[in-house]
Amino acid sequence: MATAYTPGLRVSPFTTIRKTRRLPLKGTVLVREGEHVEPDTVVARTELPGVMQTVKVAAQMGVEPGDVEKLLKVKVGDRVEKDQILAESRSLFGLIRTTCKSPMAGTVEHFSPISGSIGIRAAPIPIEVVAYIRGRVVSVIPEEGVEVEAQGAFVQGIFGVGGERRGTVRVLADSPEEPLEAATITDECRNCVVVGGSLVTGGALRKAAEVGASAVVAGGIIDKDLVDFLGYDIGVAITGHEDIPITVIVTEGFGRIPMARRTFRLLKLLEGYSASVNGATQIRAGVIRPEVIVPLEEPIGGADVEGASDKQELEVGATVRIIRQPYFGELATVTELPPEPTLIPSGATVRVLKARLSSGEEVVIPRANVEILSG
């Protein structure tokens, strides 16, 4: 019998999480294999070369390129400050003084006697990579980075913006259907991962940023509210590099969509725990999902660990989220997987599944229109 697989968002109360932490270019790894690290532990460091600026000394001083070398006040390797004199000449018995000053602070990297110019490179830019999660270094990538492994709760969202942040989980909604409004966010949400239910409003986003929250997690968001908060529209490229004060993660999609009960229940159990979050999302090749990670020493009480699974197999009994209209955002349980392609109202013949909605209604849905809610 053939086995069907379909993409899904992971929602696991206790699983093994492994993260690769890599420098953008070769540098120095600062930790050893087997070492325990905290989220803010610097695991690798390097320096990006500063920008190079060419100073056309001959042109600025009105002399021949071959005459520049004897006028120089600096040499290759010297450190210079902004407006420091690089070259100087005197004429008319010393009464007329002509100079060429450095446009920036940096280091003299080269001098060309052919063009009469000097190259000044700005100071290198230090780059540090932190562990991001609390865990153990399981492997070292020489001169590049490490892999950090942890056990704990793992929740993926469907879309997010904003980069890596950390905070204490704080649930402000009493149910998955309750929206997150600005009025519920107080100064106590500072440095917290604030969790709502069906929707985070534009006002709530602004209030969360104002009080210093680390992140906001909710079932859905109105696209206009997100655009207003960012100040620009989002394309189809990878997100996560936005210059915003908080990370935003939605678990279900755009619009007012109740958070999946399983996801909400898990986040409720994690209230008070420290979480690492990342809003980076990529929906094309090399899919990246936004995430909430809570490292744990052992499964949290009340979480359904035995029922959790990381399988991506579509089978009878699997819980799926419908990602197309007319049932967009609803959760359902697969009741049957007909093996033969079926004609659907659009006129296409595709493989389908039968599923039972939370209301009890049984529907027929193309398999491409669902994603598994894996453990």
C-alpha to C-alpha distance for 288 and 9, rounded to whole angstroms: 11
Task: Label residue 302 by pLDDT band (50, 70, 90).
Answer: low
Whether residues 181 and 273 fall in one domain? yes
Same structural domain, 322 and 288: no
What burial letters (b/e) apply to 333-359, b meaning 16+ CB within 10 Å?
A: ebeebeeeeeeeeeeeeebbbbbeeee
Is residue 240 assigned to a domain?
A: yes
Helix (H, G, I), strand (E, B), or coil: what is residue 58? Answer: helix
Together in a domain, 18 and 158 = yes
Instruction: Answer yes or no: is 302 within a domain.
Output: no
* Judgement on whether residues 276 and 168 belong to the same structural domain of the protein: yes
Domain count of the chain?
Answer: 3
What is the reported pLDDT for 5?
Answer: 44
**pLDDT at residue number 118:** 96
CATH code at position 100 = 2.40.50.100
- Looking at the fold, whether 97 and 217 belong to one and the same domain comes out as no
Residues 6+ apart with CB under 8 A from 347: none
Same domain, 164 and 291: yes
Give which of 204, 233, 291 is closest to 17, Cα–Cα: 291
247 part of a folded domain: yes
Residue 39 in any domain: the answer is no
Confidence at 322, pLDDT banded by 50, 70, 90: confident
Q: Is residue 4 part of a domain?
A: no
- Using a 10 angstrom Cβ sphere, with 0-12 exposed, 13-18 middle and 19 or more buried, the burial of residue 312 is middle
Residue 142 lies in a domain: no
What residues contact 163, with CB distance under 8 A and at least 6 apart? Answer: 240, 241, 242, 247, 278, 279, 280
Q: 1 pLDDT band (50/70/90 cuts)? A: very low
Q: Are 169 and 268 contacting, i.e. CB atoms less than 8 angstroms apart?
A: no
Answer yes or no: is 129 within a domain. no
Q: Is residue 130 part of a domain?
A: no
Q: Do 98 and 219 belong together in one domain?
A: no
Cα–Cα distance between 187 and 248 in angstroms, integer? 18
- 287 and 156 assigned to the same domain: yes
Q: How many residues does the chain have?
A: 375
- Do 279 and 172 belong to one domain? yes
Which CATH number covers residue 181?
A: 3.50.30
> Would the pLDDT of 341 be above 50?
yes
Mean pLDDT of 57-73: 93
Residue 361 class from Cβ within 10 Å (0-12 exposed, 13-18 middle, 19+ buried)?
exposed
* pLDDT per residue as tens digits for the range 101-142: 999 999 999 999 999 999 999 999 999 999 999 999 999 999
With CA atoms as reference, report the closest residue to 112 among 63, 77, 70, 66. Answer: 66
In our burial notation (b when 16+ CB lie closer than 10 A, e otherwise), range 5-44 reads: ebebbbbbbbbebebebebeeebebebeeeeebebebebb
Same domain, 103 and 161: no
Which of 265, 295, 325 represents a domain boundary (last residue)? 295
pTM of the model: 0.78
Residue with tokens 């695991």: 43
Are both 103 and 171 inside the same structural domain? no
Tell me which residue range forms the domain holding 360: 313-374
Residues 154 and 284 in one domain: yes
CATH code for the domain in which residue 359 is found: 2.30.30.30
CA dist., res. 115 & res. 121, Å (int): 18
